[in-house]
């Protein structure tokens, strides 16, 4: 197991779904809500640090900030301030040993580093994934008429497709996967766009949630044929988690087979369901990112569950880190530790060969993502 640990420790990863690291230092209250999917402070008398991710930060990140493992939250945050956010980013991103970041910039971009700053902070190449809904909302804010909406969105997405390596949809958040799988007719889209654009004008807020428009966006991605990431499962309190079960997408997946690759993100607690889809559909891939960070010591169990039905060529690594670079680092720590323990046990028990274990870790950690997104070696 030691030999395997060494190989996996030094494997340069492709983090195929991630966001920017923190752009500036934040106070404790802000930091606390950045290490949970809750959007509010912990109840009085408690702290978000008393969680798997909080314990992981104190265990694994503290030494990189020159503290003892298990330093208190107070010590940790004091030292973080002392070093400064830039230095913390630099240290943690370097320690993550990620070769390439595939970054999605559609969520609260101001608080986090953009593409170029992330490349600078990490010293590694970055690639972009564009959020479909963010493009449509930008079009709406720019003041397009309903008659031009569909065509304008189409053009903008096509322009993004020139540089982006893929797209992402958050239909799971905005409606749920229980949408009609069929491509909406032009007339339906026109009607829905008209209704929504009036709302945007009236409210000044452009938040797309109309199921017809969300389906229109999904099918635009199908036409463009680039890899499409879908938020699945675990996320924040905005979500109706049971409507983000990827099995609800089965009929849509059937309809788009052969047109594009679909990457199911996170998936917890539906990662076994995702593994089933990844086995039976040739164009379906998945990861257990985000969960890795938030289940901490339990990531061994979650990664193990992801290694059941899904072929090894259909799984990817991601951290889904957003904000604190602790999350960019811990995603990698938890994944490496989990893979080492799981595959190492199988090698020790004589069930897998050592070479196969190395090969599978490399496929999931990097090769599969390079193949799907067409990234350079």
Residues forming the site for a second copy (CB under 8 A): 36-43, 45-48, 50-52, 55, 59, 69-70, 234, 236-237, 240-242, 245, 247-248, 250-251, 254, 268-269, 272-273, 276, 279-283, 291, 294-298, 301-302, 304-305, 307-314, 346, 350-353, 355-356, 360, 363, 371
What is the H or E stretch that residue 18 is in? Answer: strand 13-18
Residue 237: which of 23, 6, 33, 19 has the closest Cα? 33
Shortest distance in whole angstroms from residue 284 CB to a second copy: 10
Instruction: Report how far residue 108's alpha carbon sits from residue 209's, in angstroms, rounded to the nearest whole number.
Output: 18
Contact (Cβ atoms closer than 8 angstroms) between residue 323 and residue 293: no
Shortest distance in whole angstroms from residue 265 CB to a second copy: 16
Give pairs for 175-179: CB < 8 Å, separation 24+: 175/209, 175/211, 175/214, 175/243, 176/240, 176/243, 176/244, 176/248, 177/243, 177/244, 177/245, 177/246, 177/248, 177/249, 177/252, 178/243, 178/248, 179/211, 179/214, 179/215, 179/252
Shortest distance in whole angstroms from residue 212 CB to a second copy: 22
Shortest distance in whole angstroms from residue 113 CB to a second copy: 26
Shortest distance in whole angstroms from residue 250 CB to a second copy: 5
Residue at token pair 């059937």:
254
**CB-nearer residue toward a second copy: 184 or 235:** 235
DSSP of 237-286: TT--GGGG-GGGGHHHHHHHTTT--EEEEE-TT-HHHHHHHHHH-TTEEE
**CB-nearer residue toward a second copy: 89 or 245:** 245
**CB-nearer residue toward a second copy: 46 or 163:** 46
Q: Which residues contact 83 (CB under 8 A, 6 or more apart)?
A: 65, 91
**CB-nearer residue toward a second copy: 55 or 188:** 55
**CB-nearer residue toward a second copy: 97 or 345:** 345
Instruction: Report how far residue 23's alpha carbon sits from residue 255's, in angstroms, rounded to the nearest whole number.
Output: 41
Residue 255: which of 287, 218, 288, 201 has the closest Cα? 218
Residue at token pair 């499962």:
233
**CB-nearer residue toward a second copy: 198 or 242:** 242
Contact (Cβ atoms closer than 8 angstroms) between residue 286 and residue 278: yes
Shortest distance in whole angstroms from residue 327 CB to a second copy: 15
**CB-nearer residue toward a second copy: 37 or 86:** 37
**CB-nearer residue toward a second copy: 145 or 311:** 311
Shortest distance in whole angstroms from residue 54 CB to a second copy: 8
Shortest distance in whole angstroms from residue 178 CB to a second copy: 10
Going by the DSSP 8-state scheme, the letter that residue 169 receives in this structure is E
């Amino acid at each position: 197991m030691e030999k395997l640990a060494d190989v996996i420790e030094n494997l340069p990863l492709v983090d195929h779904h991630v966001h920017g690291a923190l752009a500036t230092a934040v106070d404790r209250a802000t930091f606390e809500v950045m290490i949970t999917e809750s959007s509010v402070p912990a109840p009085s008398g408690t702290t978000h640090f008393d969680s798997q991710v909080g314990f992981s930060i104190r265990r694994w990140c503290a030494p990189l900030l020159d503290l003892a493992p298990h330093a208190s939250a107070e010590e940790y945050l004091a030292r973080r301030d002392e070093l400064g956010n830039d230095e913390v980013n630099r240290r943690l991103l370097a320690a993550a040993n990620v070769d390439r970041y595939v970054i999605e910039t559609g969520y609260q971009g101001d608080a986090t580093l953009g593409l170029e700053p992330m490349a600078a902070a990490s010293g590694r190449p970055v690639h972009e994934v564009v959020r479909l809904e963010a493009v449509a909302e930008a079009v709406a804010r720019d003041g397009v008429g309903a008659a031009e909406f569909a065509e304008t969105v189409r053009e903008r997405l096509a322009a993004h497709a020139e540089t982006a390596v893929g797209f992402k949809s958050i239909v799971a958040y905005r409606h749920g996967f229980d949408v009609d799988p069929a491509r909406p007719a032009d007339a339906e889209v026109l009607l829905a766009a008209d209704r929504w654009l009036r709302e945007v004008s009236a409210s000044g807020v452009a938040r797309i949630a109309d199921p017809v428009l969300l389906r229109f966006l999904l099918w635009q991605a199908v036409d463009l044929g680039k890899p499409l990431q879908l938020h699945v499962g675990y996320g924040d309190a905005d979500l109706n988690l049971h409507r983000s079960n990827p099995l609800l997408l089965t009929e849509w997946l059937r309809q788009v087979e052969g047109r594009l690759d679909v990457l199911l993100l996170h998936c917890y607690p539906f990662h076994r369901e995702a593994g089933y889809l990844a086995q039976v559909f040739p164009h379906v891939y998945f990861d257990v990112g985000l969960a890795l960070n938030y289940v901490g010591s339990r990531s061994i169990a979650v990664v193990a569950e992801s290694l059941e039905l899904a072929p090894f060529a259909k799984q990817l690594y991601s951290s889904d880190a957003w904000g604190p670079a602790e999350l960019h680092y811990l995603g990698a720590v938890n994944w490496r530790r989990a893979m080492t323990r799981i595959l190492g046990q199988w090698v020790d028990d004589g069930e897998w060969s050592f070479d196969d274990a190395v090969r599978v870790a490399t496929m999931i950690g990097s090769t599969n993502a390079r193949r799907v997104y067409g990234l350079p070696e």
